Structure 1
């Protein structure tokens, strides 16, 4: 696929995950990064909800910072053309 690295990078950018998700004929490289990006998006939403719970704001914000770091790691991996599993979430598979 001509734009595999671009689509893989978009997978880590929150709502922009829609673009690679809707592209027909995704190769396994894009699907790998799409899976990790989707897990990060779900984690980001959950941690955002935690931020609204009284006395949990700091914990939610800290967890969201970790998600941001993992997203940067995923983008770097995609740019390099690698399939590095992200720490902690890398074993979870939602998309085959």
Structure 2
């Protein structure tokens, strides 16, 4: 029953619910339900963009070793998301 409640919250999760989670819980949600979109470097940090149902999140690692997550934040700024679009190739050989 607890698993069904968790899945329910993931499917209809609001950004406020995600933001209120602890860092390790956010990481687990992304690992289990997020879809990797792209990555970028910014001032010595490596940032990964993931899609969750209804919103995007960035996972930010400082330094080159990516051993520790600095923060996880919701990203809805279109100017920031455009940086990721530059690295996505939509040419499909069908």
> Who wins on radius of gyration, i.e. which is larger?
2
Higher fraction of strand: 2
Q: TM-score, normalised by structure 2?
A: 0.26
Higher fraction of helix: 1
Q: Which has the higher contact order (CA 8 A, sep 6+)?
A: 1
Q: TM-score, normalised by structure 1?
A: 0.26
